[in-house]
Amino acid sequence: MTGTGYTWLLPVLVLLPLAGALVLLAVPLLSDRLAAWIGTAIGGVTLLLSLLAAFVTWDRGFGRMQLQARTDWISALGLEASLGLDGVSTPLVLLTALLAVLTCLHLTRAEPDRLLVVCVLTVTGGAIATFTALDLLLFFVAFETVLIPMWFVIGVWGDGRQEGQPANAAARFVLYTAAGSAVMLLGIILVITRTGTSDITELIQRGGAGLSATTQTVAAVLIVIGLAVKTPMWPLHTWLPPAHTIAPTTGSVLLAGVLLKLGTYGLVRVAVPILPAGMANVAPWLGGFAVTGIVWAGLACLVERDLKRLVALSSVAHMGFVLLGVASMTPTGLQGALFANIAHGVVSALLFFVVGALKDRQHSSDLQQLGPGLRDRMPRLGWLLTFGAVAGLGLPGLAVFWGELLAVAGAWQSSGLGMLNRPFAVIAAAGTVIAAAYWLRVLRVLWQGRPEPGQGPDATRHETVTMMPLVLATVGLGLVPGPLLGATAGVVRLLLPGGGAVP
Amino acid sequence: MLTETSARLTGVPSIDLVALLPVIAPVVALLLILLADALRPGLRLPSDLIGLAGLLTAAGGVAYLALDGEDRNTACSGGFVVTTGQTGPTRLPESLSPAEFGFGCSYVVSDLTLAVQGIVLLGAVACLLLALNGPGAKDRTAHHTLLLATVAGATALAGARDLATLTVALETATLPTIGLIALRRDAQGAQAAVTMLLTAIASLGMLLLGIGLLFLATGSLYLFRIADVLAAGPDRPVLVVAVAGAVLSLAGIGFKVSLVPFHMWTPDTYAGAPLPIAAFLSTVSKAAGVSAAVVLLGIGLPALHEAWAPLIGILAVLTMTVGNLIALRQNVAVRLLAWSTVAQAGWVMLPFAAAGPSRDSVREATAGAIGYLLAYVVASLAVFAVVVLVARHHRSGEEHTLQTYRGLSRTEPVASAVLAFALLCLAGLPPGVMGLIAKVVALRPVVDAEVWPVAVIAALNVALALAYYLRWVALLVAPGDRSAPRWRLRPAEGIVLGGAAAGCLGLSVGAEVIAGLLPGILH
C-alpha cells in the first residue's frame, strides 16, 4: 500500500528550500540578517513538514515506501522524478531539516550573509531530494546538487587567515567528491543499462536478479568507490580534514551532519540491496578499510593539536563504524550503521557548533591557544564541549554508543566478512578505547587547569539555544533508542538479501 | 512536375526544394547581400536583416520538416548511365535496381539531418548577432557572406549522403572561416588565418585521399551503398583499403573537430580570431565537423566499427585529457575556452568508442554524440556571449585574462550568473543539469559496451575539467573592484545572452530534449 493523500508532501519538502534559495538569490535588497531569519523560517517550515511526513510514514508503516510521488522527467533515459519515504530515509530527512533550522538560526547572529543562507537552503533541498529519491539517476542528480553550494561555503566563507587556503580546501573537497561521483555514475549507468530500469524500489525488489555476479561486482566496486569518497572511507578521506577545518561553522555542521550522510545512505539504499552478490565480494574490503580508518583516525586524533581538525578526524573514525556496520551485511550491523549515522550527525554537529564558538572567541582552534581552564572561564561552553566529547567517546546512555555497539555486534556475527568478522569487531572495539583516550586528552588540556586572565565571554543565550536541540537529541537517542531502531528494523530486512536471515 | 520531366530528359536528378530549404536559404541571403552591396555599398541595417532572415528562414525550414515528420530523399540518381559513344544518357533496364549499380540519394532529410541543422543554425544566429557590433560592423558584407557560406556548407553536410557531397560541403563549411578569422586585420589575425589555411589544406588532402580509397574499395560514392558493400563481407585486400580510407578520412575530419593530435591549430586560431568568430568556430564549425564524422562513420562505415571504434576511443580520451590538462594552466579567457573546446570535442566523440556490430549500438552512439553536441553548443554560446561583453568593456579587450572577471558578480550580477551557470553546464554539475545529463548520454553507450578504460578515464576527466571551470566561477564571486563601470548591453547582445541563458535553463529542466534528440532509426 502506497497510501493516498499527502502525496504533495515530499515534492514540497524538496522544492521549498530550493525555491527559498532561489528567491533569496534573486532579491539582493534583503539585508543579510533578514535573509538569515527568512532562511530560519523556511527551515522551520521544512522541519514541520518533515515531522508531518515522518508521522504519516510512521502511521502507515516504516517498512514500505510511503508518500510516493512520481512524474516523468527524461523518458528517453527512463528517468522518473519519483520520491518516497521509509524508515531509512525518515530520520535522515528530519536530521537535515533540523540542521537547516539550526545553521540558519546560527547565521542570524554570527557572520550573517544572504548568499551563505542560499547555500544552506540549496544543500538542504539537495540532501532531502537525495534521501527521498526513488530513481537511480535522480538520486545521482540530487547527490551532485549539494556539491557546488558546499564548495562556495568552504571557498568563500572559509577561514581566510592564510592566503589561498579556503580556495585550496574547497577545490580539494569538490575535486575528490566529483571524481568519486563520476566513477559512481559509471556504476549507476551499468546497473540501468543491464536491468533496463532505474526505479530503485523495482530494483530492490529484484535484489540483483538478472545481473550476473561479475556485473554486480563491477557495479558495486564503482558505486562503493564513489560513495566511499563522500562518506569518507580511509584512504579516500584526505579531503575531509582541510575542508572541515577551513569551513565556517555553518559549513562544518552541514558537512558533518548532512553531506557525510549522503555517502552512507547511498550504500544502504543502492549498493547493498540492488547489488547483493557484488556487495558480498566487496564487503570484506569495505570492512577492512573501515576498521583501518577507525584505528588510523583515532591514532591521528591522539596527536592532533587543532581541535576543529580533531573533530573532523574523529568523524572519519565514526564513519568507519558506519561502514563496518554496512559491510557486515547483517540486520544488526545495518541498523547499527543507520543509528550511528544519525548519532554522528547530531553529535558532530554539536561539537562543530561548540568549536566554532570557541574559535570565534580565540581566533584559533589550536589546543594550546584555546588554553586550559575552560570550566572556570566559560562554564557553559566548557560543559557543552565536555558533553560532546563524552558523547563522542561512546558513553553508554548517549547517542553514539548504541550505533557503534550494534555495528560491532553486527560485524561479530557477520558471515559476509568471513574469517575476518571477529578480528574486525575486536579492532573496531579497540577503536572506541582510542576514542576515549583522545577525548579525555582534549578534556585534560582544555577543561581542567588554571585559567589565564582576560579571556572572551561565555556562550550567549543565542548560542545555547542553537545547540540545545542537539544536546537533547543526543540524550534522547541515547536513553530511548527504541523509536529510531524500530523505524529501521523492518526496512533493513527488506534491504538485505534473503530477508537478512543470519545462517 | 517540371523538374521531373527535366530530370527524365537530362539525367540530372530531381531536387526537392523544401527539403533543401535549410541549405538554400543561407545561399540566397548571401547572394542578396552581395547584390545589395553592389547596388548601394555601405548599407548597414538591410544587410544585417537579410543575413538574419536567411538564417531564420533556414531554421523555419528545419522546423517545418521536423513537424512534417516525413523522411525525404532528394538529389537521387535515378539510374541513368552516361556511356561514351552515345548522344545522351541511357536509362537502366527496369529489371535492374539502381542501387545495385551504386546509385542512391545524395541528400536525405532524417532526424539526424534536422538535429544537426538545428544546432548549426542556432549557433549561427547567435554568432551573427554577437558579431554585429564587432567584426560584422567593420566588414559587414565580407563577414555576413562568409558566415552564410559556412552555414550553407554545414547544413548541407548534415544531409549529405554521398562522399562527394560530403567533401564539398565540409570544405564549404571550412574555407570561408579562414576569411572570417582574417577579419581582425592585425599580425595575429593574419597568423591565425594562415594557420587555419594550412590546416584546412592538409586536412582536405587527407580527406580526399581517404575518400578516394573508400571509393576504390567499394566502387560507390553513396554512403548507403558503401555500407552495404562493406557489410557483405568483402575480401581482405578490399577491407584493408577501406580501413585505410576510413582512417585517413577520420584524420581529415579530426582537424575540424580538433581531436588530439590534430588540434594544434585551435588555441592560436581562437586567440587570433575576433571573439565572435572564435565562438562561431567552437560551435558551428565544430558541429559541422562532428556531423561529418557522424554521417561518414555512422551511416557509411558502420561495418568497419572494429577498426574505427577503438581508434575513436583512444582519440576521445586523449583529446579530453590533453585539452583539460592544458586548459588548467591557461590564464587568458579565450585560450582557456579554446582548450576547453578541445576537451569537449573528446566528449562529443566519446560515444563512438562504443559502436558495435548492431545498427542499434551505432544509433545509440550517434544519439549520444548529437545530444552532447547540443548541450555543449548552447552552453558555449552563453559563455562566449559574456566573454564578448567583457572584452568590449575592458581595456585588455579580446586578450583579457581571467583576472578581469574578479568580483564581476558584484557589478554585473546577471551576466555573471549566466556565465557561472553555463560553465557549470559545461562541467556537468548541478545546477547545470543539462551538462550532467549530456555526460550521462555520452557515457551510456561506453558503459553499456563495457569499454572500461575509456569510461574511467572519461569519468576522471569530469573532475579535471571541473578544476578550471570552478576556478573561473570562483573569480566571479571573489571580492573585487566595485567601482567598475556598468555595462551597456546592446539589443543584439542582450538577445544572445538571454537566449543562451534561457536555453541552458530550459534544457536543464527539459533535459528530455538532449536524451531523446534522435529517437528513430539512423539514416
Tell me the per-residue pLDDT of A230-281, one tens digit each, with 9 for 90 and over. 988 988 889 998 899 888 989 999 999 999 999 999 999 999 999 999 999 9
pLDDT at position B82 is: 45
pLDDT band at residue B399 under the 50/70/90 scheme = confident
Domain that holds residue B462: 305-523
pLDDT at position B89 is: 52
Q: Rounded distance, CA B256 to CA B11, Å?
A: 35
pLDDT above 90: percentage of residues in chain B = 54
Domain that holds residue A369: 146-500
**d(CA A238, nearest CA chain B) in Å:** 16
Asked whether residue A132 falls in the same domain as residue A237, the answer is no
pLDDT at position B398 is: 82
Q: What angle do CA A62, A136, B350 make, to 5 degrees?
A: 170
Give B-chain residues touching A179 at CB under 8 angstroms: 459-460, 462-463
Closest Cβ–Cβ partner in A115, A148, A193 for B444 = A193
Is pLDDT at B98 greater than 60 in this prediction?
no
Is pLDDT at A503 greater than 60 in this prediction?
no
Q: Is residue B341 part of a domain?
A: yes
Chain-chain contact of A179 with B462 (C-beta, under 8 angstroms): yes
Mean of the pLDDT values across residues B88-106?
59
pLDDT at position A2 is: 46
pLDDT at position B417 is: 92
Mean of the pLDDT values across residues B259-267?
87
- List phi, psi (to 5°) of A80: -110, 140
Asked whether residue A216 falls in the same domain as residue A188, the answer is yes
Instruction: Give the three cell numbers for residue B300.
Output: 557509411
pLDDT band at residue B62 under the 50/70/90 scheme = very high
Is pLDDT at B6 greater than 90 in this prediction?
no
Q: Is residue B388 part of a domain?
A: yes
Asked whether residue A80 falls in the same domain as residue A217, the answer is no
pLDDT at position A216 is: 92
pLDDT band at residue B220 under the 50/70/90 scheme = confident
pLDDT band at residue B295 under the 50/70/90 scheme = very high
Q: Is residue B256 part of a domain?
A: no
What is the value of ipTM here, to two decimals? Answer: 0.91
> Which chain A residue has the Cα nearest residue B454?
A186
Asked whether residue A452 falls in the same domain as residue A369, the answer is yes
pLDDT at position B359 is: 81
Chain-chain contact of A141 with B448 (C-beta, under 8 angstroms): no
pLDDT band at residue B4 under the 50/70/90 scheme = low
Q: What is the mean pLDDT of chain B?
A: 87
Asked if B153 and B288 count as a contact pair (C-beta separation under 8 A), the reply is yes
Q: Is residue B119 part of a domain?
A: no
Name the residue among A285, A188, A282, A186 with its Cα closest to residue A235. Answer: A285
Mean of the pLDDT values across residues A312-323?
92
Chain-chain contact of B430 with A167 (C-beta, under 8 angstroms): no
Is pLDDT at B447 greater than 50 in this prediction?
yes
Chain-chain contact of B440 with A174 (C-beta, under 8 angstroms): no
How far is C-alpha B293 from the geometric centre of its chain's CA atoms? Answer: 10
Asked whether residue A126 falls in the same domain as residue A176, the answer is no
B143 touches chain A (CB under 8 A): no
Mean of the pLDDT values across residues A284-298?
93
> Which chain B residue has the Cα nearest residue A184?
B459
For B457-498, the pLDDT digits (tens) are: 999 999 999 999 999 999 998 887 767 778 888 888 899 999
Q: Is residue B186 part of a domain?
A: no
Chain-chain contact of A137 with B447 (C-beta, under 8 angstroms): no
Total domains in chain B come to 1
pLDDT at position B92 is: 54
Asked whether residue A155 falls in the same domain as residue A135, the answer is no
Q: Is residue B1 part of a domain?
A: no
pLDDT at position B10 is: 56
pLDDT at position B84 is: 47
Question: Secondary structure of chain A: what % helix, strand, coil (to 5)?
Answer: 75, 5, 20
**d(CA B282, nearest CA chain A) in Å:** 26
The angle that helices A399-413 and A421-446 make with each other, rounded to 10 degrees, is 160
How far is C-alpha A268 from the geometric centre of its chain's CA atoms? Answer: 13
Mean of the pLDDT values across residues A389-409?
88
**d(CA B176, nearest CA chain A) in Å:** 38
Could you tell me where the DSSP H helices lie in A329-398? 331-362, 367-370, 374-377, 379-392
- Domain endpoint, select from A145, A170, A191: A145
pLDDT band at residue B83 under the 50/70/90 scheme = very low
- Domain endpoint, select from A128, A145, A162: A145
Mean of the pLDDT values across residues B242-251?
94
Q: Is residue B223 part of a domain?
A: no
The dihedral of CA A273, A275, A277, A283: what is its sign? negative
pLDDT above 70: percentage of residues in chain B = 92
Residue A423: is the preceding peptide bond cis (ω within 30°)?
no
Q: Rounded distance, CA B59 to CA A390, Å?
A: 69
Asked whether residue A393 falls in the same domain as residue A471, the answer is yes
pLDDT at position B101 is: 56
Q: Is residue B458 part of a domain?
A: yes
Is pLDDT at A502 greater than 50 in this prediction?
no
Total domains in chain A come to 2
Mean of the pLDDT values across residues B331-357?
92
Asked whether residue A228 falls in the same domain as residue A272, the answer is yes
Asked whether residue A164 falls in the same domain as residue A60, the answer is no
Mean of the pLDDT values across residues A86-108?
92
Asked whether residue A265 falls in the same domain as residue A397, the answer is yes
**d(CA A77, nearest CA chain B) in Å:** 7
Mean of the pLDDT values across residues B214-226?
89
Q: What angle do CA A350, A354, A360 make, to 5 degrees?
A: 140
B441 touches chain A (CB under 8 A): yes
Asked whether residue A453 falls in the same domain as residue A404, the answer is yes
Mean of the pLDDT values across residues B426-435?
91
- Domain endpoint, select from A125, A145, A165: A145
Is pLDDT at A59 greater than 90 in this prediction?
no
Mean of the pLDDT values across residues A389-415?
88
pLDDT at position A461 is: 84
Asked whether residue A197 falls in the same domain as residue A338, the answer is yes
